[in-house]
Chains A and B, each alone.
Chain A
Amino acid sequence: MLSLHHYLILSGILFSIGALGVLIRRNAIVIFMCIELMLNAVNLTFIAFSRYLGNIDGQIFVFFVMTVAAAEAAVGLALMIAFYKNRGSIDVEDINLMKL
């Protein structure tokens, strides 16, 4: 029988992969995508719990997480474009100063 544990373990694995990506990649956009991956892993947890506890709040929360992710995508990508225009790169190793 499929249990909550299956979903949680899957979610944990996806989260760890996302974290790995954040830690080892240099390209800011890829890092950004990995963060989305981590968020998704969390979403999965929420929905799984919601389903097994019969509580709809978790799904509502996922909804909000998605909104935040959308906002984040918009602002984050705008930042990256702005940065790329200044530096000609979006390598995180180039982002080491507080000012331009």
Chain B
Amino acid sequence: MFDNVWLIPLFPLLGFLINGLFGKKIKNEAVIGGIGTLAIFGSFLVSCGILMEMISRTPENRVFEKVLFPWIHCGNFKADMAFLLDPLSVVMIMVVTGVGSLIHLYSIGYMHGEEGFYRFFSYLNLFCMSMLLLVLGSNMLVMFIGWEGVGLCSYLLIGYYFHKKSAGDAAKKAFVMNRVGDFGFLVGLFTLYWWLGDNANVWTINFMEIKKAAHLLPYGGVVTVATLCFFVGATGKSAQIPLFTWLPDAMEGPTPVSALIHAATMVTAGVYMIGRMSFVFIKSPDTMMVIAVVGAATAIFAATIGTAQNDIKRVLAYSTVSQLGFMFLAMGTGAFAAGIFHLMTHAFFKACLFLGSGSVIHAMHYALHHAHSHDDAQDMRNMGGLRKSMPITFITFLVSTIAIAGIPGFSGFFSKDEILWQAFSNPYHGNLNIVLWGIGAIAACFTAFYMFRLVFMTFYGDCRINAKAKGHLHESPLVITIPLMVLGFLAAVGGYIGLPKLIGELFGGIPNYFELWLEPVFEQAQEYGHHYAASGAPHNAALEWGLMGGSVVIALVGITIAFTMYIKNRDLPGKFTSTFPALHRAVYNKWYIDELYDFLFVNPCKSLGNFLWKGFDVLVVDGIVNGVAAVVKGGSGAFRYTATGYVHNYAFVMAAGTVAILGYYIFR
């Protein structure tokens, strides 16, 4: 089965080609959607087969590399088109193909009747292929194909409604910001490759070979430079500070896109990349700290913005940024398995939330359309009380919200709690740990608050929708609700494969399967970590129980505040806003980060470009050129008068010349 790994990206590629080339002629939405969905579902089946086989193998035999064909071979540089299978990439392909299949299915319903239906599915398939290349790539360059490929697809899909200017802007912004990250990725790649080659004579970009040679790398120093560069790449792709502003704008794309790309898969690529190269990252304590701090900062920062947004998708977008911050916090604290675990659970509940919001928007849109109203279908202030008309959507949404808020028993609790515990108890950051934990905990509180605010505003209370539209509200069709139900189910129970040890012990020593599964991947990293950190976290069961309880309480506090503000006492938000107008304005306007970037980068670049063009290129460079030409022309103008064009002038000169020459020879 391992040998057939190439089938996984191949199916979506075929789907992309068929839909892209012939989709316009097929026209039948069922066929197009069917092809797209089957393509990714085929990949899912192959992935399942691979997962089965991997489970049946012993942990030592779980790494497998499949070389398809040599790609770039040049001198000592070798990059093959090759795929790597190990427990980590299998987790990722399962998530990508699994969630991807559901979202494809959902899209058939959601995108029904849209212009360019085939275009959407071909892009979606292309995205899946790129994402699978990213996670399967056995060297950095194949990963980079996927890395940029998903950026491209994200560009295409955000700009799907290209006739809207905002969509085009958002798409461009996303791509350019990703490009900034890619720049970091490339420089990091170069640094690592060059250093290993120059100093250790290991010329490679293959992950497994680097892993073997990782003991040659120093602690800190050049590794810090390289990993920081990689981390810049990760911030770009995973929307962390400072490159996070594209993600909320990316909500211009259709909702399934937001669910697939901007929640479940693409944005987690940065986390995956750090996990993939954990053995390099861990060698630089400074980078680890930077990652942890950036992660924590992003988590709290995005969470604050999320509390004040009214667009249902924007709230979810900021929530995604915030949750990604949690993942980076995990990575930065050396809890790689926990980060990946949260990645997975997040993929379930956030995909479910996005799809749920999509279902709501779909319904709202339909209703508003039939009521001939121009109200914004995505504005939560126009919703309310939807739980009666959309029960399935409501239940799955609620389950996912509970999961993300961190209520015990649901998947989010296990993963988030693990991260917070690791942030508190990891051996790497010393006194910083308590700060990291504190920030994480507050961010968790905010998460619970804004998510329940979302639920309360959307599904509870009075229906604020246009009265005419009210009657048109109805539950979405089955093709939309089935993925919701599956994802909702996974959001609820998906956490049980990574039961914290503490809880597992209660139930007769159930191990943390997920951690166990990934252990061989991160073993080496942990080993390196112990070189400079105290070996093993201080294991204090009481403390861990305490913190666990603490995080539950924090989540409940957030929910309670939301309940108070949006159910019980509806005047509170208004009061709050009028009490702190400046704060509200700042939060509502996303802390003016976009404006800051415009001021710092975009506008200076534009005016510099304009100056260089009109001021320098035309005036100075071309001025010199034309100046030289003018001088020559002026000089030759003096001689020009000898050439009058009159025959007799020439005849005079000729005759005089002949006479002079002959005279000279005769009379000399």
Asked if A and B touch directly (CB within 8 angstroms), the answer is: yes
- A residues in contact (CB < 8 Å) with B: 19, 22-23, 26, 92-93, 95-97
A52 vs B7: C-alpha distance in the bound complex, in angstroms?
109
> In the complex, how many angstroms separate the beta carbon of B664 from the nearest chain A beta carbon?
18
Q: Let me know if B648 and A92 touch, CB within 8 A.
A: yes
Residues in A neighbouring B651, C-beta threshold 8 A = 22-23
> In the complex, how many angstroms separate the beta carbon of A96 from the nearest chain B beta carbon?
4
Closest B residue to A97 by beta carbon equals B645
A95 vs B648: C-alpha distance in the bound complex, in angstroms?
10
Residues in A neighbouring B648, C-beta threshold 8 A = 23, 26, 92-93
Q: Is B655 an interface residue (CB 8 A)?
A: yes
> In the complex, how many angstroms separate the beta carbon of B34 from the nearest chain A beta carbon?
72
Q: Let me know if A92 and B646 touch, CB within 8 A.
A: yes
B76-100 vs A: 1/0 string, CB under 8 Å?
0000000000000000000000000
Task: Give the size of the chain B interface in residues (CB under 8 angstroms).
Answer: 8
Q: Let me know if A23 and B647 touch, CB within 8 A.
A: no
Q: Let me know if A23 and B652 touch, CB within 8 A.
A: yes
B645: contacting residue among A23, A26, A96, CB under 8 A: A96
B655: contacting residue among A19, A92, A93, A95, CB under 8 A: A19
Residues in A neighbouring B646, C-beta threshold 8 A = 92-93, 95-96
A23 vs B658: C-alpha distance in the bound complex, in angstroms?
14
What is the predominant secondary structure among interface residues of chain B facing chain A?
Answer: helix
Closest A residue to B647 by beta carbon equals A92
> In the complex, how many angstroms separate the beta carbon of B557 from the nearest chain A beta carbon?
93
Q: Is B199 an interface residue (CB 8 A)?
A: no
Q: Let me know if B644 and A96 touch, CB within 8 A.
A: yes
Residues in A neighbouring B644, C-beta threshold 8 A = 96
Residues in A neighbouring B645, C-beta threshold 8 A = 96-97
A19 vs B651: C-alpha distance in the bound complex, in angstroms?
10
Query: Can you sample 20 A-B contacts with CB below 8 Å?
Result: A19-B655, A22-B651, A22-B655, A23-B648, A23-B651, A23-B652, A23-B655, A26-B648, A92-B646, A92-B647, A92-B648, A93-B646, A93-B648, A95-B646, A95-B647, A96-B644, A96-B645, A96-B646, A96-B647, A97-B645
Closest A residue to B656 by beta carbon equals A23
A23 vs B650: C-alpha distance in the bound complex, in angstroms?
10
Residues in B neighbouring A92, C-beta threshold 8 A = 646-648
> In the complex, how many angstroms separate the beta carbon of A38 from the nearest chain B beta carbon?
11
> In the complex, how many angstroms separate the beta carbon of A45 from the nearest chain B beta carbon?
15
> In the complex, how many angstroms separate the beta carbon of A65 from the nearest chain B beta carbon?
19
A35 vs B644: C-alpha distance in the bound complex, in angstroms?
23
Closest A residue to B645 by beta carbon equals A96
> In the complex, how many angstroms separate the beta carbon of A97 from the nearest chain B beta carbon?
6
Closest B residue to A98 by beta carbon equals B645
Q: Please list the 8 inter-chain residue pairs (A to B) with the smallest Cβ-Cβ separation, ordered nearest first.
A: A96-B645, A92-B647, A96-B646, A92-B648, A93-B646, A95-B647, A23-B651, A23-B652
Residues in B neighbouring A23, C-beta threshold 8 A = 648, 651-652, 655
> In the complex, how many angstroms separate the beta carbon of B660 from the nearest chain A beta carbon?
14
User: Which residues of B638-668 have CB atoms within 8 Å of chain A's CB atoms?
Assistant: 644-648, 651-652, 655
Closest B residue to A28 by beta carbon equals B647
Closest B residue to A19 by beta carbon equals B655
> In the complex, how many angstroms separate the beta carbon of B666 from the nearest chain A beta carbon?
13
A2 vs B647: C-alpha distance in the bound complex, in angstroms?
40
> In the complex, how many angstroms separate the beta carbon of B6 from the nearest chain A beta carbon?
70
Closest B residue to A26 by beta carbon equals B648
Closest A residue to B646 by beta carbon equals A96
A22 vs B644: C-alpha distance in the bound complex, in angstroms?
18
User: Which residues of B609-665 have CB atoms within 8 Å of chain A's CB atoms?
Assistant: 644-648, 651-652, 655
A96 vs B644: C-alpha distance in the bound complex, in angstroms?
7
Closest B residue to A25 by beta carbon equals B648
